[in-house]
Amino acid sequence: MSEQRPVRAVLWDFGGVILTSPFEAFARYEREMGLPKDFIRRLNSSNPHENAWARLERGDVDIDGFAELFEAEAQALGHRLDARAVIDLLSGDVRPEMVAALQAVRGRYRTACLTNNVRSGSGPGMARSPEKAAQIAEIMRLFDEVVESSRIGVRKPEPRFYEIACERLGVRPEESVFLDDLGINLKPARAMGMRTIKVENPAQAIAELEAVLGHKLR
């Protein structure tokens, strides 16, 4: 077996890694609306490459087109929801520990934000208020590159998404470590040779990143 290449780049998902997961907001909405638990996640995982959510993240449809498609998908499963209200749940809260970790690796390693996002709200973090937009803009400046699905027309977990990120950073996949909160997004990255970390919480993720890099971040 060949020797593993040193890490030259750290790649970060945004929602669920730098920000709290939108799934927490989805769960709250489901409770408020009397929807089954994990109903929105089930919608998003059905026909995952061609459903309304995938088409929105690739920029194939606008918000109006998404709303019509997404609400039809929900009705096909026997429930009603407000697609625009669901979109408003996407921008989570900043995790200061993860921002500190990003600041610690910046400069020593190449960094990129790899985000599936939509053309709604302000900027890659889809902020819904001027204050939140300014906060997220400050974080985005910490990355060498920001790769957005809604801008490049491909999305995680499509392999081309990761290839674009590596090309922009000037690194090979096997010289990279990628943090994401979804296993489906980590699988193709790992198949390409990236080291991967599934983010369950900040403390766990930072400890695993330190192990991969071979030094402390704190």
Query: Model's pTM, two decimal places?
Result: 0.83
Specify whether 83 is located in the same domain as 133.
no
Is pLDDT of 159 > 70? yes
Specify whether 125 is located in the same domain as 141.
yes
In a domain, 218, yes or no: no
Specify whether 70 is located in the same domain as 118.
no
Return the structure tokens found at 8: 């030259």
Q: What percent of the chain has pLDDT over 90?
A: 78
pLDDT at position 111, please? 98
Specify whether 143 is located in the same domain as 170.
yes
Is pLDDT of 155 > 90? yes
Specify whether 97 is located in the same domain as 195.
yes
Instruction: Quickly list DSSP for 118-150.
Output: -S-SBTTTTBSSHHHHHHHHHHHTT-SEEEEHH
In a domain, 2, yes or no: no
The enclosing domain of 74 has a CATH number of 1.10.150.240
The enclosing domain of 180 has a CATH number of 3.40.50.1000
pLDDT at position 132, please? 78
Domain holding 124, by residue range, is 9-19+92-213
If you average pLDDT over residues 157-186, what whole number do you get? Answer: 97
Q: Using one digit for the tens of pLDDT, what is the confidence trace for 72-84?
A: 999 999 999 999 9
In a domain, 1, yes or no: no
Specify whether 79 is located in the same domain as 147.
no
Instruction: State how many domains the chain has.
Output: 2
Q: Which of 87, 102, 133 is a domain's end point?
A: 87
Return the structure tokens found at 109: 């390693």
Contacts with 134 (C-beta within 8 Å, 6 or more apart), sequence order: none
Kindly tell me the sign of the dihedral angle through the C-alpha atoms of 205, 184, 12, 210. positive
Specify whether 170 is located in the same domain as 192.
yes
In a domain, 120, yes or no: yes
Alpha-carbon distance values, 185 to 58, 161, 180, 192 (Å): 15, 10, 7, 12
Q: Which of 40, 68, 87 is a domain's end point?
A: 87
pLDDT at position 91, please? 77
In a domain, 4, yes or no: no
Q: Using one digit for the tens of pLDDT, what is the confidence trace for 192-213?
A: 999 999 999 999 999 999 999 9
Specify whether 110 is located in the same domain as 72.
no
Specify whether 97 is located in the same domain as 64.
no
Return the structure tokens found at 103: 């600041």
Specify whether 68 is located in the same domain as 107.
no
Specify whether 101 is located in the same domain as 83.
no
Alpha-carbon distance values, 158 to 57, 130, 185, 188 (Å): 12, 32, 8, 8
If you average pLDDT over residues 6-29, what whole number do you get? Answer: 94
Specify whether 49 is located in the same domain as 105.
no
If you average pLDDT over residues 118-124, what whole number do you get? Answer: 62
